[in-house]
Amino acid sequence: GQQLNQSPQSMFIQEGEDVSMNCTSSSIFNTWLWYKQDPGEGPVLLIALYKAGELTSNGRLTAQFGITRKDSFLNISASIPSDVGIYFCAGQGTSGTYKYIFGTGTRLKVLA
């Protein structure tokens, strides 16, 4: 299936630590999205990015649209137990049908 490379695949961190994850593509994207998925639910949008170099924050979350337009990064500061879940990136192409392709996911576990 069509998916983007996302790393790390999983992380175990202590409460209060900062977290970084990234997503890379072989294609240029016009839009990058970051989602969080809790067990048994659909993904929920965290941050949307629309311009190369853009840096956007949502509370303790900060995401960046890479300058090359082929990558994106998500940082979580001062993690808390409810940050546990799976984080996905998604990119939208520049032509054609504008479908969104998702990353393979980063599974985050926070140790209290």
Partner 1 sequence: GAGVSQSPSNKVTEKGKDVELRCDPISGHTALYWYRQSLGQGLEFLIYFQGNSAPDKSGLPSDRFSAERTGGSVSTLTIQRTQQEDSAVYLCASSPDSRYSPLHFGNGTRLTVT
Binding footprint of partner 1 on the chain (CB under 8 A): 1-3, 6, 30-31, 33, 35, 40-45, 48, 50, 88, 90, 92, 96-105
Tokens of 99: 């479908």
Closest distance of CB 60 from partner 1, Å: 20
Closest distance of CB 67 from partner 1, Å: 19
Do 15 and 76 contact (CB within 8 A), yes or no? no
Closer to partner 1 by Cβ: residue 60 or 107 = 107
Closer to partner 1 by Cβ: residue 34 or 73 = 34
